[in-house]
Amino acid sequence: MLTKEDIAKRIAKEVKDGYYVNLGIGIPTLVANFVRNDISVEFQSENGVLGMGPFPFEGEEDADIINAGKQTITTLPGASFFDSAFSFGMIRSKKVDLTILGAMEVSENGDIANWKIPGKMVKGMGGAMDLVASAENIIVAMMHVNKAGESKVLKNCTLPLTGVGCVKKIVTELAVMDVTPNGFKLLERAPGVSVEEIIKATEGTLIVEGEIPEMVLD
């Protein structure tokens, strides 16, 4: 099974030259560490940063330069800072080519729940609401099952939704899947993980066609 860093490394392969990319809190923030050096990518954070780089090395952090998850970040030459109103104008006007988010649940028709567990205190939905409503290409980075071993890749989400029918692709510790009108289509499996294990961990409809290749991370 993949580590969180491996999931980020696999998603980094989906980032293309010239993309403007928004990275959500959690696993997605790691993606900036693994993007190829031979392409130019602008990472955007909804708190008002364009041009984020990898995480800083220990001892080189600047507490004034943070992402939306309040983690210290680095910036690349030419980076810019602006207020959140400008940032969300950028998002809502669909200037972001790719959004990478974490999730608690994803349904087989592309619904996403990633902001609230009933009974637990939360501050609000945050920027995810705007991101999933505005982005045309959304990839979810998540664990396939929860701590109890229950699937998070479902027929229908059980938690309050963040967005409806918006997720295009999911990368978990077990698999890469596309969201299609007929369910989750299995594209790749993690090294050493069998198709049977993925089927067992997936509550939603899983489409398996032909031989499923292992992910290539390097």
Mean pLDDT of the chain: 94
Residues known to be catalytic? 46
Range 25-43 average pLDDT: 93
Residues 6+ apart with CB under 8 A from 183: 108, 204, 205, 206, 207
Which among 36, 49, 38 is positioned nearest to 76, based on CA atoms? 49
Confidence (pLDDT) at 195:
98
pLDDT at position 121 over 80:
no
Range 2-31 average pLDDT: 95
pLDDT at position 194 over 80:
yes
Q: Are 208 and 186 in contact (CB under 8 A)?
A: yes
pLDDT at position 68 over 90:
no
> 175 pLDDT band (50/70/90 cuts)?
very high
pLDDT at position 126 over 90:
no
Confidence (pLDDT) at 69:
85
Strands (E), 73-192: 75-81, 98-102, 105-107, 112-113, 138-141, 153-154, 169-171, 175-180, 183-189
Sign of CA dihedral 95, 172, 175, 8: positive
Range 181-196 average pLDDT: 97
Confidence (pLDDT) at 118:
84
User: What are the b/e assignments for 36-53, b being 16+ CB within 10 Å?
Assistant: eeeeebbbbbbbbbbbbb
CATH topology of domain 4-31+88-207: Glutaconate Coenzyme A-transferase (3.40.1080)
Task: Return d(Cα 209, Cα 182) in angstroms, integer.
Answer: 13
Q: Are 138 and 90 in contact (CB under 8 A)?
A: no
Confidence (pLDDT) at 154:
98
Q: Identify the weakest region by mean pLDDT among 44-58, 110-124, 162-176.
A: 110-124
Q: Give SS3 for 84.
A: helix
> What percentage of the chain exceeds 90 in pLDDT?
87
How many CB atoms are closer than 10 A to CB 22?
A: 28
